[in-house]
Amino acid sequence: MTAPKKVVLAYSGGLDTSIILKWLETEYGCEVVTFTADLGQGEELEPARAKAELMGVKDIYIEDVREEFVRDFVFPMFRANAVYEGLYLLGTSIARPLISKRLIEIAEEVGADAIAHGATGKGNDQVRFELAAYALNPDIKVIAPWREWDLSSRTKLLDFAEQHQIPIAKDKRGEAPFSVDANLLHTSSEGKVLEDPAVSAPEYVYQRTVSPEEAPNEAEFMEIGFKRGDAVSINGEEMSPATILTKLNEVGGKHGIGRLDFVENRFVGMKSRGIYETPGGTVLLEAHRGIEQITLDSGASHLKDSLMPRYAELIYNGFWFSPEREMLQAAIDKSQEHVTGTVRLKLYKGSATCVARWSDHSLYSEAHVTFEDDAGAYDQKDAAGFIQLNALRLKLLAARARHLKK
C-alpha cells in the first residue's frame, strides 16, 4: 500500500489508540486527524481532546452523535426485534457503521486519503469498520495497525509508549482484567477473567446494572408510547430517541434488567465469551413486541420474524450498508406503519414484562375472541369446514400409509 499522506483515526484517547496515533506518524510519516464519537459510553471526552493536542494533532473532531446513533441505527434495528443467535441485542455491532460513516465524511472534509481503526485482527470489529468504509468510499485506504505492527504484547505496547512519551495511566501498567466497549445501547466486556466460559463472571464486571438480587423489592410500572414502531414517550412525556434510551437504561439498570453471559460465533470463525449489559434495550424490545402483538397482522408478523435472524446476522457481520440489509429494512419499516400505541411494563428483579397494551390501530377484537356471547360476530360452525380443508392432505397421507401397510 502506498504510504498515506493524511489519516483519520478513530480515537478514544486510551492507551491503544494513542499508541496507534504515534505509530501512524512514525511508520508512515503522515498527518493524523482524530475522530472521537460520543455514543453515550458514559465517559468524559474532553481528556481525549487534551491528549490529542498534547500529541500534536491539529485537526481534532469530537462529536456528540447520540441522537443520530439511536434515531438512525438503534431504532431501525429494534423495529426488526433483531437478536443475534437468539440472545444478543447487537450493541457493539450497530455502533460501528456510524463511526465508519463519520470517518469517511471527515476524510472527505479534510482531504485525507486513509482512515485507521484500533480493532484487532481476531475480532468482528475490523470487518464491520472496513466493510462499512468500503461501502461508502470504495477508494479509501484502511489501516489496521494490529494487523501490521510487531507490538504483539502489552509489554511492547508500554515500551513503545514510554519511548515516545505517551502518557500511561497508572492502572494500565498491569494487564487490565478485561476489555470494555460501551455506548448508549450496551456495555460489552470480554477477555482475561472472562475467557474461560466454565468460570462464572465476577460481579465487578457488571457496570450498568445491579444484580437482580440487589434490585428493589417492589416492582416498578412504566408506560412506553410508540409511533410507527419507534418509542416516542415514557409515561406520557415525549422525549428524543437518545433521551428515551438513556431513561430506559437508568430504570432498567436499577432493576437488574438486561444482563447476558454469552458465547457467540464470531464472523471470523472463532467462538468468544462476552458479558453484555443492555438494560434499556431489553426493556425496549419487550415493549416493542408488546405493541406489535395487537397492531401487526399475523401474516406480516410471522414473515417479519422469519426475516429477523438474517437481518440480525447482517448487522453482526458488518453489512449495515449492504443492499440486502436495506431491502430487509424497507420490508420491516413497511410492517411498522400501524405499530402505534402504548405499552405498560412491569420491571422487577431482572425482568421486564409487558402487562398491558392499547392502540387506536389495534387489530384485537374482543367481540371475536370473547368466551361470552359474541352477538353473532363469529359463527363457530365455520371452523368445521376450515378444519376439514386443512386436514385433507393429512387424511390422504394417512390413507396412503395405511394402504401400504396391507
The residues carrying an active-site annotation are 16, 96, 125, 179
Residues in CB range of 282: below 8 A, 6 or more apart: 89, 252, 257, 258, 352
Q: Residue 154: how many CB atoms within 10 A of its CB?
A: 14
Nearest of 80, 10, 84 to residue 48 by alpha carbon: 10
Total residue count of the chain as it appears in this document: 406
Q: How far is CA 181 from the centre of its chain?
A: 12
Q: How far apart are CA 133 and CA 364, in angstroms?
A: 45
Q: How far apart are CA 227 and CA 212, in angstroms?
A: 31
Strands (E), 236-379: 237-238, 259-265, 271-277, 341-348, 351-358
Q: How far is CA 109 from the centre of its chain?
A: 28
Backbone angles phi, psi at 353, to 5 degrees: -125, 130
Q: How far is CA 23 from the centre of its chain?
A: 31
